[in-house]
Chains A and B, each alone.
Chain A
Amino acid sequence: MRCGEFHTTYASDMGIFDTRRARWLLLVFIVALFAIPFTATSYWLDVTNRAAIAVIAATGLNILTGFTGQISLGNAAFLAVGAYATAYLGNKGVPFLIACPASGIIAALAGMVFGIPSLRLKGLYLAMATLAAHFIVEFTTVHWEAVTGGVSGTSVPSPRILGYEFSDDRRLFFLIVPVCVATLYFARNLFRTRVGKAFVAIRDQDISAEVMGVEVFRYKLLSFAVSSFYVGVAGSLLAYQARIISPENFPLGVAIDHLGMIIIGGLGSVLGSILGALFLTLLPEILRIVTSALSGTFPDLIRLFTPLRIGMFGLTIVLFLVFEPDGLADLWRRIRNWFRLYPFSY
């Protein structure tokens, strides 16, 4: 009978999975994931794809904010950079396999530029600097009409791989979800490496990290780059999925949403990014179903839907900060351990 988790070797301590069973369960889960396109209606596929994109973007932000401790309000901006890069490249006939990573790299470069202030700024000041990044990018997307199409937006061609066109949400699923799984796998592994450990050291105490020999500036910039690469890839997929992008796709609210995702999910946890992104993508859908189910009895409820959504968002964040500051990821860990170690957990 198990009563706790005990790692007796460094290898097992560093392992991605706590137990062998977890590995199998994950495999089963991924296989089950691919049953979605064969069962879900096209709208729910759209929701699934949006959720997968949100997972990538939230993971990107978590790398920067959750793991490296650098707060950023520039996520919507980096998302926009990735999306517009894809739109521009896609319309020039660049295929998906080049356009998507290239968009990530362009976003990473933008992230590094806007990450430079992090050398001297921390906390609230860095938040303001990244907020400035948001407005600079927003201004650019509205006014650089030759590339972005201005306020009316620009359309994006369907992604193609070897002549196969991913034209609807069902096909896009097979593009977006594997990319999502791959980025998550990379993120999980990143924090087993020297670079990942350096990020965490900077978050915990940047002066001690410097004393230990971590080049703080270099790693902060690297964190900005990796994070923005993730967000840029998410932006690229978003562009392919939405088919038309305009500055309205990237309001400041998106950056706040992403912060909400990692707070609700759990800062500094890859699983947290997943759970938080899923939670906040599905919340409005659930609210919509509930309000429309009740609209027969309360016809005015449908008008309350949008304010209700914003209100619920705020309420959830406050409740999580007060009662579950480590987020859904920690909640999940505790529930899992309770079942696994039942009845002798201590």
Chain B
Amino acid sequence: MKLMTSALLALCVAGSAQAQQEIKVGGIFDLTGITSDVGKPFAQGVRDGVIWTNENGGINGKKIHLFDVDYGYKIPEAVAAYKRMVGDDKVIMINGWGTGDTEGLKAQVNADKVPYISASFSGHLTDPSKTPYNFFVAPSYSDQLRAWLHWVKDDWKDKSRNPKVAFFYGDNAYGKAPIEAGRRYCKDIGVDLVDEEIVPGAFQDATSQLLNMKQKGADYGYINVTTTGVSIILRDAKKLGLNTKFGSNPYGFSEALPQVAKEAAEGVTGVVPHVPFGENVPGMKRLIDFHKKHHPDDTHDAMYVRGWCYVLVWSEALRRADKAGQLSGDGVKAALETFRDFDMGGLTNPITYTSTDHRPETKTAIYQIKGGKLVKVAEYDMPRKPEWLGL
């Protein structure tokens, strides 16, 4: 009897020790919604990053348990998933996705003190006095658009007039996130914003928007949707014979774009905060090794690399929080805010968060599609202006 009791006790202790060895993290992904074209590779990157971390020592020996869910890019679904993860699964932080749901959840996240590291680079999430628990791993959408506008200014050779620019975006929080920043920056640097075209969430045809834009005489167009939408706009622009130079934000621009849009993608520029898969940087080795070991026949793109970058950042934060003995929402937030030029092995620029500024990085690389390949053409560093915080 005594033996049994002690055996039971040992089992209980082992059981609870096992439970302690596990760090619970939530993952809210879009696998079926209007952004699933880029959501799927991102989610795979996060999942693979977690598997890799667990295979390579975990978080100081503790395993990460990822509770992931597909929310179909619907805000109410994300809210329900969030409630389930925080209430029932007791996750200590969440790797989120879209701008609408991230901005929608920010009040709840603050109340629950759950660090919410989402794939939305909305500039509205960078001011810790308003959104102390929101983080992301890239230059903000606003800084990206500024960098692209800067490139437009440099690329424009006709000095007799300013270049004319049009914005294409969806009528949702993601599409609109950098637009106000872009409008202001156009005025600052002498670019004429002549047109703003709204495109639906999922669309098959952009001819009417493009004809409008043509009428306004835009020389450049910035497309702020996802890969599928960008390829439709490029295809229709080619059909109409427009010679506008298009650029895209990082969710519309990756190795997938020349594959989908074919020759219409030639010469298109894009913002690339996370390098394309296979780029010759030191941090790429473990991705390639993992890829060869687990799924050598798959193809990957910059979205997949992005997912990895997220795991690299928050797993480091978990490690620091764990070392400080504060494996809690507040502990992880505090750990993230100790990041000072944290080296990402070239996958993206070094990451910095402080308690007064959650802009992780400010350098933005501009790539161009040349011969079906992504080639880096420029890089711009946006200053950390205080008036740009949260814009």
Q: Which residues of A contact B (CB under 8 A)?
A: 41-44, 46, 50, 142, 151-153, 155, 169, 242-244, 246, 248-249, 302-303, 305-307
Contacts and interface: CB of A to CB of B under 8 A. Distances in A.
B87 interface: yes
By DSSP majority rule, is chain A's interface helix, strand, loop, or mixed?
A: helix
A152 B103 contact: yes
Interface of B: 31-32, 68, 70, 72, 74-76, 79-80, 83-84, 87-88, 100, 103-105, 107-108, 171-173, 176
A235 B342 CA distance: 46
Contacts of A244: 75, 79, 104-105, 107-108
**Residue of B68, B88, B104, B172 with most partner-chain A CB within 10 A:** B104
Contacts, number: 65
A68 to B, nearest CB: 29
A151 B172 contact: yes
A142 B176 CA distance: 13
B83 A246 contact: no
B23 to A, nearest CB: 19
A42 B83 contact: yes
A152 B176 contact: yes
Nearest to A243: B108
B104 A43 contact: no
Contacts of B31: 303, 306
A84 to B, nearest CB: 15
Contact of B75 (A153, A303, A306): A153
Contacts of B108: 243-244
A336 B12 CA distance: 46
B83 A248 contact: no
Contacts of A249: 75-76
B83 A306 contact: no
A94 B104 CA distance: 22
Contact of B76 (A42, A44, A248): A248
A306 B107 contact: no
A152 B173 contact: yes
B42 to A, nearest CB: 14
A307 B31 CA distance: 11
B87 A153 contact: no
A244 B76 CA distance: 9
Contacts of A169: 83, 87
Name, among A50, A153, A169, the residue most crowded by chain B CB atoms within 10 Å (CB to CB).
Answer: A153
A242 B70 contact: no
Contacts of A41: 87-88
A305 B80 CA distance: 15
Given A142-B171, A303-B70, A246 B104 contact: yes
Contacts of A43: 83-84, 87-88
A155 B107 contact: yes
A153 to B, nearest CB: 6
A153 B84 contact: no
A249 B101 CA distance: 11
Q: 8 closest Cβ contacts across the A-B interface?
A: A42-B87, A43-B88, A43-B84, A152-B173, A306-B32, A244-B104, A248-B75, A43-B87
Given A42-B88, A243-B107, A307 B32 contact: yes
24 contacts: A42-B83, A42-B87, A43-B84, A43-B87, A43-B88, A44-B88, A46-B80, A46-B83, A151-B172, A151-B173, A151-B176, A152-B103, A152-B173, A244-B104, A244-B107, A244-B108, A246-B75, A246-B100, A246-B104, A248-B75, A248-B76, A303-B32, A305-B70, A306-B70
Contact of B87 (A46, A151, A243, A306): A46
Contacts of A306: 31-32, 70, 72
Contacts of A155: 107
A284 to B, nearest CB: 9
A102 B265 CA distance: 54
A85 B130 CA distance: 26
Nearest to A251: B74
Contacts of B105: 244
A305 B81 CA distance: 14
Contact of A302 (B70, B75, B103, B171): B70
A152 B100 contact: yes
Given A243-B79, A243-B107, A248-B74, 20 more contacts: A41-B88, A42-B88, A43-B84, A43-B87, A46-B80, A142-B171, A151-B100, A152-B104, A153-B173, A169-B83, A242-B76, A244-B75, A244-B105, A244-B107, A246-B173, A248-B75, A302-B68, A302-B70, A303-B70, A306-B31
